[in-house]
Amino acid sequence: MDYQKIASDVYNLAESDEPIAPIVREALQVIEQCLGQYGQDHVSLSFNGGKDCTVLLHLYAAVLARKVSSTHNPIFALYIPDPSPFSALEEFIKIATQDYLLNLFTCNLSSDIQLPVESVTPGVSTPTALKGSSGYIGHSLQTRPVGAARGGEGMRRALELYKLRFPDIQAILVGTRRTDPHGTTLSYRNVTDPGWPAFERINPIINWAYSDIWTFLRKLKIPYCTLYDEGYTSLGSTYNTLPNPALLVEDSDSSHTLPSSLTVVANNPNAMCFVEPTPPKSSLNGIGPFTIIADNPDQICLADPVSDLRESESPRSTLGPFQVLVSDPNTQCQGEVDDRSANDVRLPPRYRPAYELQDGALERAGRVSGPVISEI
């Protein structure tokens, strides 16, 4: 990672005529003032792999490279995981830790005191209509908590642990924005409440909107967690996070049915093939690439559309090139007419990427107040 380039890109954006420039300058000034008061050795950054703290990390790296030292020293950071975090999020945190040279401490509480950072208390499921500035967009599963929300307690104990391990840290940079829960009354700098570990919370991007986050990330081509490309707009635990229904592809119901003239079967007449979700980051345009799993668990057909397992050099179907990979090199998958099963095979819903969400008020439409009981 070229930290001097990061600094150049960020500070040039701040001094540009771009609409986002004023809030970038504002964030840089808040970080510079924090470092001027405390120094890098007494400042940490809260990093959980989400889009907001990814923006904050990039801003912080720019300030360190421009104002503190041309040689990039490790950045103090803490990670307070939610229960049951997404594996893709954990992987992104590992990559960011290496790229930005984070001295990352994971606040893992012991099992007898582990509490969620956000409320994921059990609840009763109720369908809730989702509305944005453009009107009704669909339904999302939500829950009514039946117990007291204990997310704040989980955060407090995690910070206590961090204070014990890093007593010299006095300020923590946080990616909270005004529209976040409990963010309405915050300013750029807020000390923790009585009864909490003594830190000053620094909120450089408190005035940023949802659209500002994505403008910054995409304009500077900053890597972010891949879940955001799959329709997620706000990340928490797997218990309480779903793709945002506002990003559901409108024609997904009709486009997920295979054509009635086509079913894909193995050359074993006794085999049954089923269409399943593609791996992450796959493109689902029209029918798109898909995965076929035969009823023999050892035979897996990874498809794109022909009859040869090892080659995909010449398209032989209107669905595009077809490549099949199976554990048995003698097994082939071919397209045949079979109306009996084709209409029963459906692909999962498709979602647009998070940066296409037009109404920032719907950012948390994929979040529920309790564990996910059923799919949308």
Least confident of 188-197, 241-250, 318-327: 318-327
Q: Tell me, what's the pLDDT at 69?
A: 76
Mean pLDDT of all residues in 66-92: 90
Mean pLDDT of all residues in 280-288: 39
What percent of the chain has pLDDT above 90?
52
CB of 104 closer than 8 Å to CB of 44: no
Q: Is the dihedral of CA 23, 241, 138, 348 positive or negative?
A: positive
Query: Which residues lie closer than 8 Å to 285 by C-beta, 6 or more apart?
Result: none
The model carries a pTM of 0.68
pLDDT tops 50 at residue 163: yes
CB atoms within 10 A of CB 10: 23
pLDDT in tens, 10-44: 999 999 999 999 999 999 999 999 999 999 999 99
pLDDT tops 90 at residue 375: no
Which of 49, 23, 37, 9 has the alpha carbon at shortest distance from 211? 23
Beta strand 75-79 pairing with 102-106: parallel
Q: How far apart are CA 103 and CA 10, in angstroms?
A: 22
What 8-state DSSP symbol labels residue 74? Answer: P
CB of 62 closer than 8 Å to CB of 11: yes
Which of 278, 245, 241 has the alpha carbon at shortest distance from 369? 241
The phi and psi torsions of 254 (rounded to 5 degrees) equal: -75, -35
Residue 120, token pair as written in the block: 């994921």
